[in-house]
Amino acid sequence: MKHKLLSVALTAIGALVLLSGTAAAQDMNKSMMNNMDKKFVMEAAMGGMMEVELGRLAVEKGMSDEVKQFGQHMVDDHSKANDELMQLASSKGITLPTALDAKHKAMRDRMASLSGAAFDKAYKQEMLKDHRKDVAEFEKESMKAMDSDVKAFAAKTLPTLKEHLSMIEGMTSMKSMKNGKM
C-alpha cells in the first residue's frame, strides 16, 4: 500500500515538473526571440503605422484620384497587417510602439505640409522607396527568420507588399510616360 501511494505521489510530482517545464519553455520562447527577428518586428510595426498615417494623409490631401485610392488601399491593408503583427508580438511578449518615432513623425509632418501636385509627387516617391525597402526586408525575413511565427508573418505579408510596389511603380511609370520621360 505504501509502495503504491509512493508511486502515485512520484508520478504526480513528475507530471507537475513536466508541466512546469513546458510552461517555462513557453515563457523562454517569448523572451528568447532572436534579436534580428525582434528588430524586424519592431521595424515592421513602425513602418506599418507610418503607411497608415501617410495613407490617411493621401486620402485627405491627395490631388489625384489614384493617389487618394492608393492611400486608402494602404490604410486598409496596413491596418490589417498591423493587427496581425500586434497579435504575433503579444504572443511573444513583445510590446510594440504605439506612436511614430521622431524620424517617422518628421516625415509625416513634412508630407502634411505639402498639398496638391507637390503632395502627390512626394507621396508616390516615398511609397516607391518605402515599398522597395519593405519587399526586400520581408523577402529576407520570410527566408531567414529564426522564429517560425515571424517567418510565417513575413511570408504571408510579402505578396501584399509586392502588390503595393507594383501599383506604385505603375503609378510612377504612367506619370513618366505622360511627361515623355521614358
Do 79 and 160 share a structural domain? Answer: yes
Do 42 and 27 share a structural domain? Answer: no
Domain that holds residue 14: 1-32
Q: How many domains does the chain have?
A: 2
Do 157 and 82 share a structural domain? Answer: yes
Q: How confident is the model at residue 181 (pLDDT cuts 50, 70, 90)?
A: very low
Do 26 and 59 share a structural domain? Answer: no
The yes-or-no verdict on residue 179 having pLDDT over 80 is: no
Do 5 and 89 share a structural domain? Answer: no
Q: How confident is the model at residue 32 (pLDDT cuts 50, 70, 90)?
A: low
Do 117 and 57 share a structural domain? Answer: yes
Query: pLDDT digits over 78-87, tens only?
Result: 999 999 999 9
Cell numbers placing 85:
503583427
Q: Are 55 and 67 in contact (CB under 8 A)?
A: no
Lowest mean per-residue pLDDT among 4-18, 42-56, 64-78, 122-136: 4-18
Return the beta strands (E) in 25-96 as ranges: none
Do 122 and 97 share a structural domain? Answer: yes
